[in-house]
Amino acid sequence: MGQALGCIQVDQSNVAIKETFGKFDEVLEPGCHCLPWCLGSQVAGHLSLRVQQLDVRCETKTKDNVFVTVVASIQYRAKPESAQDAFYKLSNTRNQIQAYVFDVIRASVPKLDLDSTFEQKNDIAKTVENELEKAMSHYGYEIVQTLIVDIEPDVHVKRAMNEINAASRMREAASEKAEAEKILQIKRAEGEAESKYLSGMGIARQRQAIVDGLRNSVLAFSESVPGTSSKDVMDMVLVTQYFDTLKEIGASSKSNAVFIPHGPGAVRDIASQIRDGLLQGNAAAE
């Protein structure tokens, strides 16, 4: 009904392009406008002033000959003061922006190797934004922001990179494990050495205590029983220890059958063997 009466409505964040007999007349702002169609006035079209987004996927090659797919997100909008240029100068804005993005990315990425491409993606985005701003400003558009949202290497390259990273971490883990085992072995050896040292000290002190005890016993017995010699005392001590040993063997619940020559002659032989061993040891020490 409004159009029949020559009235149109322009929505918010939009403008309308008014023509008179096919020639541009003016840009109509949001609101209600009267167009006397009988005088040749008409609306050629509408133009949105909202921010629009275009995602561009561009395949290119890095300096080290790795093919990557760069995904750029372009946010742009038509400038209200240049609505005439935005409406008339470009027939396909999205294709035009995509062509510029392809050109800039394929000129920038081949100068960088793969690692540098990831590190300098913000610089690439800034370069794309500057080039687009210079080019699209002539057509009535402004570039709000440009983002490099993803860099996707070839699937085989990605798998190889993951394997290299995994191998590096496994090598570090193996090195740390070997170092830990080395420390454990060193500490274990130090512990064993310390244990043997302390055991040797204990045995030495035990033998020293036995010798001191025997010496004191021999001296005390010789003084208490006149006419006895040190040899008699040692024979008696050896016989006593011999019978104590037999008693301990018989009292043990886990003992097996043990055959020991027994009798007065056997005790004399054992005493003789012990005495001869002690004398030989003293002679060797001298």
Residue 247 has pLDDT above 70, yes or no: yes
Give the Cα separation of 237 and 222 in Å (integer).
13
Residue 258 has pLDDT above 70, yes or no: no
Q: Would you say how long the chain is, in residues?
A: 286
> Domain 52-153 adopts which CATH fold?
Tetrahydropterin Synthase; Chain A (3.30.479)
Mean pLDDT taken over the chain: 81
2 falls in which pLDDT band (50, 70, 90)?
Answer: very low
Q: Which residue has the tokens 């990315």?
A: 105
Mean pLDDT, range 261-272, rounded to an integer:
61
Give the Cα separation of 282 and 67 in Å (integer).
89
Q: Which of 43, 214, 74 is nearest to 145 (CA)?
A: 74
Q: Nearest-5° angle of CA 130, CA 131, CA 137?
A: 90
Domain residue ranges in the chain: 7-48, 52-153, 168-249
Residue pair 73/101 in contact by the 8 Å Cβ criterion: no
Q: What is the DSSP string of 7-64?
A: EEEE-TTEEEEEEETTEEEEEEPSEEEE--GGGTEEEEEEEE-S-EEEEEEEEEE-TT
Residue 259 has pLDDT above 60, yes or no: no
Residue 286 has pLDDT above 70, yes or no: no
Give the pLDDT confidence score for residue 280 in this predicted structure.
58
Give the Cα separation of 165 and 97 in Å (integer).
38
Q: Which residues touch 65 (CB under 8 Å, ≥6 apart)? A: none
Residue pair 35/76 in contact by the 8 Å Cβ criterion: no
Give the Cα separation of 238 and 243 in Å (integer).
9
Render pLDDT for 112-163 as a digit per residue (tens, 0 to 9): 988 888 889 899 999 999 999 998 988 999 999 999 998 888 877 778 777 8
Q: Which of 97, 2, 89 is nearest to 52 (CA)?
A: 97
Give the Cα separation of 103 and 252 in Å (integer).
97
Give the Cα separation of 174 and 169 in Å (integer).
9
Render pLDDT for 69-89 as a digit per residue (tens, 0 to 9): 999 999 999 999 999 999 998
Render pLDDT for 83-122 as a digit per residue (tens, 0 to 9): 999 999 888 889 999 999 999 999 999 999 888 888 898 9
Helix 155-224 crosses helix 230-251 at what angle (to 10 degrees)?
130
If one compares 234 and 182, the residue with the highest pLDDT of the two is 182
Give the pLDDT confidence score for residue 125 in this predicted structure.
92
Residue 279 has pLDDT above 60, yes or no: no
Render pLDDT for 171-202 as a digit per residue (tens, 0 to 9): 888 888 888 888 889 988 888 888 888 888 88
Residue 170 has pLDDT above 60, yes or no: yes
Mean pLDDT, range 233-241, rounded to an integer:
69
Q: Pinpoint the alpha helices (H) of the chain.
A: 83-88, 93-108, 114-119, 121-136, 155-224, 230-251, 264-285
Render pLDDT for 38-74 as a digit per residue (tens, 0 to 9): 788 888 889 999 999 999 999 998 888 888 999 999 9
Instruction: Determine the residue type at 161.
Output: M
1 falls in which pLDDT band (50, 70, 90)?
Answer: very low
Give the pLDDT confidence score for residue 232 in this predicted structure.
67
Give the Cα separation of 192 and 45 in Å (integer).
94
Residue pair 96/177 in contact by the 8 Å Cβ criterion: no
For residue 195, the SS3 value is: helix
- Could you give the count of Cα atoms lying within 13 Å of 63 in the half-sphere of its Cβ? 10
